[in-house]
Each structure stands twice: as C-alpha cells, then as structure tokens.
Amino acid sequence: MKYRLKDYQRRAVDNLKKHFDAYFNLNGKTIVFKAPTGSGKTFMVSALMEELVLDNEDKDFCFLWASIGKGELQIQSYEAVKSYLGGNPKCSLIDNEFFGSRQYIRKNEIVFVNWEKLVDKDSATGAWKNNIMKDQEGMSFIDVLEETRRRGTKIILIVDESHIGAGIQTRIREFKDTIVIPHITLEMSATPLSEPDVIVDTEAVIAEGMIKEGIIVNEGIDDTLILEDDIDSEILVLQKGYEKREELLREYERIGSPVKPLVLIQIPNKDHGEEKIIVIKDFLRGKGITEKNGKLKIWVDKGASFDKRKIKDLDDETEYLVFKVAVATGWDCPRAQILVKFRDGNSETFEIQTIGRILRTAEAKSYENQLLDNAYLFTNLSRFTITKESYNPNSIKTEMSYFRTKFGRPVYTTINLISYYKSRADDYNSADSSFYSYFEKEFCSYFGIEEGEYSIVSVPKMIGKGLKTKINVNQSVLSEIHESTLMLNEEKNVYGETIDVKISDTDISFAYYNLIRENLNGLAYVRSKSAINGAIVETLTKYYYPIPRTEKVMTVQKLVLSNQEIFSTILSRATQKFREKLIEDAGKTGIYYNYEISSSRAYTRDNNKVIDSELSLYQPLRLPINQSNGDVNRLELSFINYLNTRKDVVEWFWKNGDEHMKENFGISYNNGMSTFQPDFIVKFVDGTIGIFDTKPVGDRVEDTRVKAEALYKFIKDTNTNRPKNLGKLIGGIVISKKYDSITRTYKDFRVNTQENYVEYDVDSSDWLLFETLLKNINND
C-alpha cells in the first residue's frame, strides 16, 4: 500500500480478514461492512484486497467490484483503488479493458462494473440485456463470468454503496445469485440495508480527524437579522453560504493551508430545478462568480463537461458546484464544506448520504480550529428530517402462483371459513366537486356572511373578522443551530428557533398546497387537492374583491397564505364535515363472508422473493421483501422451513397476504373496528385446519394479546357450528425461543392457544412446544 492505515482502519481490515478467513472454505456467504461517510471505506477495502492476495497465494480468486447508481461511481472507485494499490493487484475497468477478446477474469484481478448496466432486463422477454460487452466477438460479460468460474477461479463480489438503488435490489440479487454466483460477497455502506458484521465507529473517525466534528445549520440566521424588503428565503441562504465561504477562505489562508472551500448547492431532481438554477446564477453573477470564469460548475445531467477529478484538488478554482443528487450519486469532494439546500416541493428530508458530502476533512486531519473543523448547512426549511434512502415499491403485478397439484389435481379442498373484511377509511376519502358547498358554508359561517352576498357587503365583514387584505407572504426559516456529526448516524428530526423571511415565488404554490395537505382530516391528498383548490378559488372569487383572470391563481394563493390561521380553520371544519358525510354514506360496517383460498394470485416481481417450498399451497411460494433491509421475514421463513420438514403431519400450508383486501383471510377484533390477518393457514393430514400468526417475543405485546384472544374466540365459535367432516380448527400465536445468528434461522417454536393470552416472558406455562402440538394431532 502506498498509504498507511489509521488505527481504526487497521482494526476494521483485521476484522474483515477474520470473516473472510472463516468463509473461504464455505460458499455463498455475505459480509456487511458499515462505516460512516468519510471514514475511507474504499481505502480500507483496497487494503483488504491486497492483504487477502498476499496471505492466500495458494487460493485462486478474483474480485468483481460493483457500483450502484446512474453516475460514474465505478470509474471513481477504479481510479481510487488503482491509486491506492499502485497497480498490484491489477485493476480493470470493464468499459475500457474488457472486450470480446477477454474470455475470463484473471487470478487476483479486480474488475470494476456498474450494477445498473449489468442487471437491466428486456421488458418483453425478461432476459438480461447484457449491455456490457454485448455479443462482441462472440463473448459477453455473462460468458466471461461463467468461463471464470469454469476455470476454478472463485469470484469475490464487492458491492459498493449497497444501500443505493432500492428499486432494483431484487434484480441485483437475482443477477448475483444466478449469474455472478459469488463465493463471498462484501456489502459496504454508511447506511447498509442489512445488519452489519463489521462496524467502524464514528467517534473513532472523528478522533483521527477524518471527518468534521459537526454540522452547523443556518449560522447567522436568527431573530436579530435585519432583512431588506425584497430579499426572499432563497437569496437569504445563498447570501449566508457566500459569507461563510469567504470567512473559511480567510482562515485557511491565515494558517497557510492551500484549501479553497467548495460550496455545494443541491437543487431538486425534478420539478423547479431549472428555476432554481436561474436564481442561483443571478445571485452568483453579482458576486463575480460565473461558469465562464470557472468559479461555478453545474452538474445536472450526465453530460456535465467539467473535470470531476480536478475539482477535488485542494486549490481548484471552482468555488460553487450546483448539482442534483440523481446524477451525482456517490461523488464526493473533501474540500466541500458548505451545503446549500433549497426546499424541494413539500419535501423536508435529507438523506444521510447527502449530508455526508460535506463531512470529510479537506486534508484528512483536524485543524484544532472550531471554524475549520465544522461543516455548514444553509436551507430555507423550517425543520427537516435526516433520513435514510427511501423506497417506492412497484405496484405492477406480473408474477403468478397457482395451487399445488398432485396427480394432476389441486391438493386444495374446501376449508369453509368465515372471513371478515372492513373497508379502510381510505376507500372513502376523496373530495370531489360536491366539496364546494361544504367549503362555502364554513367560509360564510366563519365570516358571518349570508350565502350569495355581493363582495361590497361581504368584504367588510371578512375584514372585520380579521382577514388581512394586504398580502405579505413569509415563511419560517430555521435559525442557527449546531449538530454533532455523531448525531447523523441515525434517522432524526432537526429543529430550533426560526425567523420570518419573504417566501420566494417558486415556493408559494408549495406552501399553499401544504396548507391544504395539513387540513385534510383523513382525506387523500392526491385525489382531493384539485377539488379543494377549486372550492377555495371559486369561493374567494365569489365573495372577495374582483380578481383579474390572469392573476387569479397567484392572488388566491397569496391571500390564503397571508391568512393561514383563518383558512386552516375554515378548511379543517369543511373537510371534517365532508369526510363524516362520506363515512356515513359509505356504510362503514365490516362484512362477513364465506371464505375459500383463490386458486391463483398475482404478485409484483420486485417486491417478492421466490422460496423453494414443497408443502406450500401456492407454487411457487412468494414471500414479501421488507424494503428496509431487502430481505424476507426471517421468522416466517424459518417457520415455513420447519413445516416443510413435517410432511408426515402437514398436507399443505398457505401464507396469507399482507395487503388489506378481501382476497386475504381476516378475523374481526376491536369490536369490529379492525381486521386481523393471521400469517398462516395449515391443512393437516388428518383434516384439521390450523390458523397461526408468528410474532417475535416481546413484540407489540398488547396488540398481540388482543389479536390472540380474537383468534381464540374465532376458533371456538367456528368449532361450535362446524360440520365434523370439514375437520376441527386449532391455532394460536407462534414464537421462537432460539435464533442462530450465523444461519439467521429461528428454532424451537412455541404456540399459545389459550383464551387469555399471557406473554411468554411473563408466564411460559401456557406455551406449548409446536412439536408437541403436532404429536397431539398425530395421536388424535
């Protein structure tokens, strides 16, 4: 290695090597490595690869380094690792060095690829597109991987920034498991989706001076600030960011450091991004900072022409970089010390990875200087949430499962159960054109207006009730606060004192619709906002001063925002009464109906994982993926695997769905106000039907108690009237008392079938070994 490892890096590499040593003689193992942004993950893994090669000369393996995101993260990783290792082991960038003539990956070689290019599928055929090396001279990269394994070279897969790309995680796993087939997988991220095996402590990184001590939010923005009449919130945060950069630059020059701090300005990925760029350019032009003189760079698409390596130089001329997260994924610049983030519609969230862009120290050391040892964030939000990357599941269902058959006939026979379904309020929660009369009535009631009065009469009454006709639209901006870097490891809310600043024109409509969103009383925002906006506009047009047609929308929005408390009250009253009427008309009583499991079911491809199970009623068995960790429910999977071992007792089992829909089996509880959907229906060989729900020990104890007792009552009532030829019902809550962390498997299942539910840790006497329950069935 050309560089020396810090103490915490040395410990992390040693821990990783222990895991690799333990797994080299096994197959298909995954190691999860969690280290905070700025700690040097790439550097540590580079050292790991070098030492694995040196320590295991008798073993034949190579590395496939896979980066995620639509940017150029794989190129950055390639250049960094190559620099760290000095050419040994050999580093290869697939885009440049792998063509059709390359038939396999050589021993110890490190190949850098982009996941998104690898896992792209043809929407019509479902086949891998294989855009890399596609059919060049007869070889594709899929062929290269197959030939590499055929030659006996084991593939170690390294997944860089493994938290990114939640929308393609299922395809990544499929490609990994069916095409790459790695011997060992190393996932690394500051915010991994799975439980980490090796963790780098943030405090140790700070102590070594690798990342800054904290984040100072909106420094200098407080209630003592005197503002010009025409300054809005966007100009305010730009001005404060500019002033802070000048202060930092003077301090670096004073201590003789070459660092020229960089200001990052994040704009929305979608709507209004171009409008923000105009505001930014106009402001910076007045400070002598333009694209032409090289002090401003803009990175909003893949075609950005500036040198993304040169900008990282400590003394580079670039002072400001405007970027979108979507195109700059994974990119970092250690001299970046200030982040300006504009309001992104109604979004008030920062991803930890975004904050991490300004956490690295420019020279990988502490300056023992509070000004230089902190990062600075300026935003025109009143509060925000630091959050991990979110996931928006795909709702298109393209995959089918069907009843298992035996000798050409379905194994399923009637179970004759009574299911309960109660429609959720969301089924009846949309405002439509009929909402207008509700809003007008509450509007007139608030101001003491007779319905139909002319504005010459109504406006004085409205003013008399406190309506401000002078439009003055402000927004709250967070006053100065300090945030410790140590607080950025977990999801949290950030808030503090605020001051009022004139809102920018581009944000007025967002604030207006946010007022609507906050006063819906359960109505669905997306399906209701148009009708509610229409009611507000028409009512004010009718009762307020005449508004020119071309100015109607903006005038109404500004008038509402200038009188937020009044209109929030009117709107809340109107939506409450409107929704009460919807619920009344909808007849919200739940329904009971004869229930049989349907012969087939459709699933979404990316949200479910196929599980091999001989006894599952549906073939193939598909289990939902938990989007927070990219895995199925391990407790449910372990119980399924246990049932699969008991073919002597179990004929089939069916996994109930999680969605709130009549297709799933439900039991009434909370006096009919709620529906409980147990996890499993099991058909035993002797005809007995079991209904079971798996729960972690100690999980939501009171909720579990209510559901358990509802299940007991359902079974008792059903057995009282159930024909003997259909088989009796049994069931209860199932827990596990043993967990194997290596295999991630739950064991030692217990079941509670009692009328009065008591948690296991309180009294275990009511909990029967599930194995004993099965023996009792056999003996009966």
Highest mean pLDDT among 90-99, 265-274, 461-470, 679-688: 679-688
- Two tokens at 335? 């001299």
Rounded CA gap, 76 and 115, in Å? Answer: 14
Residue spans of beta strands (DSSP E) within 239-396: 262-266, 296-299, 320-323, 336-341, 349-351, 374-379, 384-387
Rounded CA gap, 637 and 643, in Å? Answer: 10
What's the one-letter identity of residue 385?
A: T
pLDDT at res. 475 = 60
Q: Compute the C-alpha angle 94/99/103, nearest 5°.
A: 95
**In terms of C-beta density within 10 A (0-12 exposed, 13-18 middle, 19 or more buried), how is residue 375 classed?**
buried
Rounded CA gap, 26 and 19, in Å? Answer: 11
Residue spans of beta strands (DSSP E) within 131-261: 154-160, 184-189, 198-199, 214-217
- Two tokens at 60? 């034949």
- Two tokens at 110? 């490190």
Average pLDDT, the chain: 83
Rounded CA gap, 247 and 106, in Å? Answer: 52
Interval 614-642 mean pLDDT: 92
Q: Is the dihedral of CA 746, 752, 753, 758 positive or negative?
A: negative
Rounded CA gap, 376 and 340, in Å? Answer: 8
* CB-based burial, 226-243: b 16+ in 10 Å, e otherwise: ebeeeebbbbbbbbbbbe
Highest mean pLDDT among 163-177, 230-244, 507-521, 730-744: 730-744
Q: Compute the C-alpha angle 94/186/13, nearest 5°.
A: 110
Q: Where is 277: in which H helix or E strand?
A: helix 273-285
Residue-wise pLDDT tens digits, 738-762? 999 899 999 999 999 999 999 999 9
Residue-wise pLDDT tens digits, 386-445? 554 433 232 334 467 899 998 889 999 999 999 998 754 444 567 877 899 999 999 999
* Cβ contact 475:500 at 8 Å: yes
Pairing, β 417-421 against β 591-595: antiparallel
Residue-wise pLDDT tens digits, 653-704? 999 988 767 789 999 887 776 789 999 999 999 999 999 999 998 878 888 9
- Torsion angle (degrees, nearest 10) of CA 413, 416, 420, 423: 50
**In terms of C-beta density within 10 A (0-12 exposed, 13-18 middle, 19 or more buried), how is residue 409 classed?**
exposed
Residue-wise pLDDT tens digits, 74-99? 888 888 899 888 878 999 888 776 65
DSSP symbols for 740-758 = ETTTTEEEEEEEE--SS--
Rounded CA gap, 205 and 17, in Å? Answer: 20
Residue-wise pLDDT tens digits, 133-142? 554 445 678 8
- Two tokens at 593? 């109906």
Alpha-helical runs (H) found in 518-550:
525-543
Helix axes 435-447, 564-586, angle to 10 degrees: 140
The DSSP secondary-structure symbol of 446 reads H
- Two tokens at 138? 């007869």
Rounded CA gap, 337 and 215, in Å? Answer: 10
pLDDT at res. 509 = 80
pLDDT at res. 427 = 45
The DSSP secondary-structure symbol of 58 reads T
- Res 650 pLDDT > 80: yes
From residue 671, alpha-carbon distances to 425, 701, 710 in Å are 16, 19, 10
From residue 173, alpha-carbon distances to 121, 122, 608, 631 in Å are 13, 17, 12, 10
From residue 119, alpha-carbon distances to 132, 170, 178, 331 in Å are 10, 10, 11, 22
Q: Which residue has the higher pLDDT, 584 or 9?
A: 9
Give 750's strand partners. Answer: 735, 769
- Res 615 pLDDT > 90: yes
Q: Where is 4: in which H helix or E strand?
A: none
pLDDT at res. 128 = 67
Rounded CA gap, 669 and 674, in Å? Answer: 6
pLDDT at res. 393 = 30
CA atoms within 13 Å, Cβ hemisphere of 284: 27
* Cβ contact 638:442 at 8 Å: no
What's the one-letter identity of residue 547?
A: I
What's the one-letter identity of residue 158?
A: I
- Two tokens at 679? 């996890």
Rounded CA gap, 265 and 462, in Å? Answer: 43
* Cβ contact 503:233 at 8 Å: yes
* Cβ contact 466:566 at 8 Å: yes
Rounded CA gap, 146 and 139, in Å? Answer: 11
Residue-wise pLDDT tens digits, 238-252? 999 999 999 999 999
pLDDT at res. 20 = 94
Rounded CA gap, 73 and 66, in Å? Answer: 9
Rounded CA gap, 655 and 691, in Å? Answer: 10
Residue-wise pLDDT tens digits, 180-193? 899 999 999 887 87
- Torsion angle (degrees, nearest 10) of CA 353, 358, 362, 367: -120
Cα first-last separation, the chain: 70
Residue-wise pLDDT tens digits, 328-373? 556 778 999 999 987 665 445 555 567 777 888 999 888 878 789 8
Helix axes 564-586, 525-543, angle to 10 degrees: 120
Rounded CA gap, 36 and 211, in Å? Answer: 9
Interval 531-535 mean pLDDT: 88
From residue 548, alpha-carbon distances to 57, 250, 536, 552, 554 in Å are 81, 52, 16, 6, 11
pLDDT at res. 98 = 64
pLDDT at res. 209 = 82
Give 594's strand partners. Answer: 418
Interval 191-198 mean pLDDT: 86
Rounded CA gap, 332 and 463, in Å? Answer: 54
* Cβ contact 252:261 at 8 Å: yes
- Res 707 pLDDT > 90: yes
